[in-house]
Structure 1
Amino acid sequence: MLRKDRLFSVTGLFALSIFTSAFLLFMVQPLFSKIVLPSLGGASAVWITLMFVYQGLLLLGYGYAHALSHWVPQRLQIPLHLLLLIASFLMLPLAAHADLTLPETAHPILWLIKTALLGVGLPFFVLSATSPLIQHWFAHTPHGKNKNPYVLYAVSNFGSLLALLGYPLLLERFLPLSQQSDSWLGVYMIYALLLFVCGLTTHTLWRKTRVSEETKLTADPIKDKNLVPQVSKGRMFHWLLLALVPSSMLLGVTGYITTQITSLPLLWVVPLALYLCTFIFAFAEKQVLPPKLVRTLAGIGLVGVIAIVAMRQNYTDTAMLWHLGTFFFIALALHQILAEKKPAAKHLTGFYFIMSLGGVLGGAVNAIAAPLLFNNVYEYPLILAIAGILLWPYQRQYVTELYESKRLARGFGLFFDIAVPLTLFLLVPLPGHNLRVGKFALDFRDEQSLHLAIVATVLLALVSFQKPFRLAVGAALILAGGLFINTLSDSHTLTTRSFYSTYSVVFDSDKLAYKLLTLGTSATQGAQSIDPEHALRTTYFYNLDGADTKLPEDIYASDWASIGLGVGTIACLSPLPNKTTFIEIDPMVYELAHDSGYFTYLQDCPGQNPVIIGDGRAKLDNFAENSLGLIALDAFSGSSIPTHILTREAFEMYLTKLKPNGVIMVNISNRHINLLPLLTRQAKELGLVGMHRSPRPPKFSHWMMLSREKTSVAGLAEAGWEPLPEADMSLQPWTDSFATILPLLDSKWRDFVKADQARKKAEAKQ
Structure 2
Amino acid sequence: MWPFALLIFFSAFLLFQVQPLISKFILPWFGGSASVWLVAMLFFQVFLLLGYLYSFIINHFKFKTQKYIHLVLILLTFLTLPIIPSIALKPIDSTFPVIKIIILLALTVGLPYFVLSTTGPLLQAWYARKYPQKNPYILYVLSNAGSLLALITFPFIFEPLFDSVHQAWLWSGAFVVFGLGVGILVWSKFKSLPAAIVKSETVQKVGVRKTILWILFPALASAAFLAVTNHICLDIATIPFLWILPFCLYLITFIFTFADEIFYQKIIYFVLLICLLFISPFLVFNNEIGSFGLSFQLISYSLILFIACMVCHGELYRLRPASNLLTRYYLMIAIGGALGGLFVAVLAPLIFTAYWDLLVVLFITVLVVAGLYFNSVKEKSTAKERQFIYLASFLLIVFFSYYAYSIKLKSWVGTVAAERNFYGTLHVKESLANDEGAKRRFLLHGVTLHGEEVIKNDKTIPAISYYSEKTAVALLLQKIIKADSREIGVVGLGTGTLAYYGQKNDIFTFYEINQAVIDYAHKYFSYLKDSSAQIKTVLGDARLSLEKEPDVKFDLLVLDAFSSDAIPVHLLTEEAFELYSKKIKETGAIVVHISNRYLDLAPVIKAVADKHGFGFVLVDTPKNEANLSYRAVWLIVTKNEDILQSEELKPYITEKEIKKIKPWTDHFSNLFTILN
**TM-score, normalised with respect to structure 2:** 0.90
2:664 aligned to which of 715, 734, 742: 734
Give the counterpart letter for 2:492 in structure 1: G
Name the structure 1 match of 2:214.
239
Q: 1:518 to 1:712 in 2, by over 3 A?
A: same
Give the counterpart letter for 1:111 in structure 2: K
Cα distance in 2 for partners of 1:135, 1:263 equals: 35
Name the structure 2 match of 1:64.
54
Name the structure 2 match of 1:35.
25
Preserved CA contact (<8 Å) 1:555 1:662: no
1:150 aligned to which of 137, 155, 170: 137
Name the structure 1 match of 2:557.
631
Cα distance in 2 for partners of 1:96, 1:342 equals: 39
Deviation string, structure 1 residues 368-401 (Cα, Å, up to 9, x no partner): 21222322222332222211111224669xxxxx
| Alignment of 1:560 onto 2:488 | yes
Name the structure 2 match of 1:281.
256
Give the counterpart letter for 2:79 in structure 1: L
Preserved CA contact (<8 Å) 2:30 2:541: yes
Unmatched 5+ stretches in structure 1 = 1-10, 223-227, 397-409, 411-416, 418-463, 747-766
Name the structure 2 match of 1:340.
318
Cα distance in 1 for partners of 2:280, 2:241 equals: 22
Name the structure 1 match of 2:225.
250
Stretch moving more, 291-300 or 179-188:
291-300
Preserved CA contact (<8 Å) 1:140 1:213: yes
Cα distance in 2 for partners of 1:393, 1:52 equals: 29
1:269 aligned to which of 241, 244, 248: 244
2:442 aligned to which of 516, 524, 527: 516
Write out aligned runs for 1:13-412 (5 A).
13-70=3-60, 72-97=61-86, 99-141=88-130, 144-204=131-191, 206=192, 211-215=194-198, 221=201, 229-260=204-235, 262-285=237-260, 287-309=262-284, 311-315=286-290, 316-317=292-293, 318-393=296-371
Cα distance in 1 for partners of 2:179, 2:47 equals: 19
1:652 aligned to which of 578, 592, 611: 578
Give the counterpart letter for 1:190 in structure 2: V
Deviation string, structure 1 residues 721-754 (Cα, Å, up to 9, x no partner): 315544534x1011222111111111xxxxxxxx
Cα distance in 2 for partners of 1:250, 1:465 equals: 30
- Choose between structure 1 and 2 for higher RCO, CA contacts under 8 A separated by at least 6 residues: 2
Preserved CA contact (<8 Å) 2:488 2:508: yes
- Residue aligned with 1:692, SS: strand
Deviation string, structure 1 residues 152-200 (Cα, Å, up to 9, x no partner): 0010001111111211122112211111111111211221122112222
Stretch moving more, 51-60 or 263-272:
263-272
Q: 1:153 to 1:551 in 2, by over 3 A?
A: farther
| Alignment of 1:485 onto 2:410 | yes
Give the counterpart letter for 2:197 in structure 1: E
Deviation string, structure 1 residues 70-112 (Cα, Å, up to 9, x no partner): 1x21111112101101111222211445744224355421111
Name the structure 1 match of 2:515.
587
| Alignment of 1:504 onto 2:427 | yes
Deviation string, structure 1 residues 633-690 (Cα, Å, up to 9, x no partner): 1123511222222111221221122111101011112221110122122222322222
Name the structure 1 match of 2:619.
693
Shift of 1:295: 2.1
Q: 1:622 to 1:241 in 2, by over 3 A?
A: closer
Deviation string, structure 1 residues 439-496 (Cα, Å, up to 9, x no partner): xxxxxxxxxxxxxxxxxxxxxxxxx999545533432231243255357xx4111001
Preserved CA contact (<8 Å) 2:563 2:593: no
Cα distance in 2 for partners of 1:150, 1:539 equals: 60
Preserved CA contact (<8 Å) 2:270 2:311: yes
Q: 1:644 to 1:21 in 2, by over 3 A?
A: same
Shift of 1:139: 1.3
Deviation string, structure 1 residues 223-274 (Cα, Å, up to 9, x no partner): xxxxx82211121011111111111111122223333555455322222111
Preserved CA contact (<8 Å) 2:492 2:559: yes
Stretch moving more, 320-329 or 582-591:
320-329
Cα distance in 2 for partners of 1:314, 1:465 equals: 36
Q: 1:294 to 1:547 in 2, by over 3 A?
A: closer
Name the structure 2 match of 1:434.
none
1:578 aligned to which of 506, 519, 522: 506
Name the structure 2 match of 1:602.
528
Name the structure 2 match of 1:225.
none
Cα distance in 1 for partners of 2:484, 2:353 equals: 39
Preserved CA contact (<8 Å) 2:94 2:541: no
Shift of 1:531: 4.1
- Residue aligned with 2:482, SS: helix
Cα distance in 1 for partners of 2:170, 2:11 equals: 14
Name the structure 1 match of 2:540.
614
Shift of 1:718: 4.2
Q: 1:485 to 1:589 in 2, by over 3 A?
A: closer
Deviation string, structure 1 residues 40-94 (Cα, Å, up to 9, x no partner): 1111111111111100000000000010111x21111112101101111222211
Cα distance in 1 for partners of 2:654, 2:505 equals: 29
Cα distance in 2 for partners of 1:35, 1:716 equals: 43
Unmatched 5+ stretches in structure 2 = 375-384, 624-628
Shift of 1:535: 4.2
**TM-score, normalised with respect to structure 1:** 0.80
Deviation string, structure 1 residues 395-434 (Cα, Å, up to 9, x no partner): 69xxxxxxxxxxxxx9xxxxxx9xxxxxxxxxxxxxxxxx
Preserved CA contact (<8 Å) 2:120 2:143: yes
Cα distance in 2 for partners of 1:221, 1:569 equals: 73
Preserved CA contact (<8 Å) 1:561 1:581: yes
Shift of 1:569: 1.5
Name the structure 1 match of 2:643.
712
Cα distance in 2 for partners of 1:107, 1:305 equals: 32
Stretch moving more, 737-746 or 296-305:
296-305
Shift of 1:296: 2.4
Cα distance in 2 for partners of 1:17, 1:278 equals: 22
Write out aligned runs for 1:409-558 (5 A).
467-486=392-411, 490-508=413-431, 513-520=439-446, 522-531=447-456, 535=460, 537=462, 539-544=464-469, 548-549=475-476, 551-554=479-482, 557-558=485-486
**CA-atom RMSD in angstroms:** 2.8
Q: 1:148 to 1:98 in 2, by over 3 A?
A: farther
Q: 1:21 to 1:370 in 2, by over 3 A?
A: same
Q: 1:249 to 1:98 in 2, by over 3 A?
A: farther
Preserved CA contact (<8 Å) 1:52 1:363: yes
Give the counterpart letter for 2:42 in structure 1: F
Cα distance in 1 for partners of 2:498, 2:482 equals: 17
Preserved CA contact (<8 Å) 1:691 1:721: no
Cα distance in 1 for partners of 2:79, 2:631 equals: 50
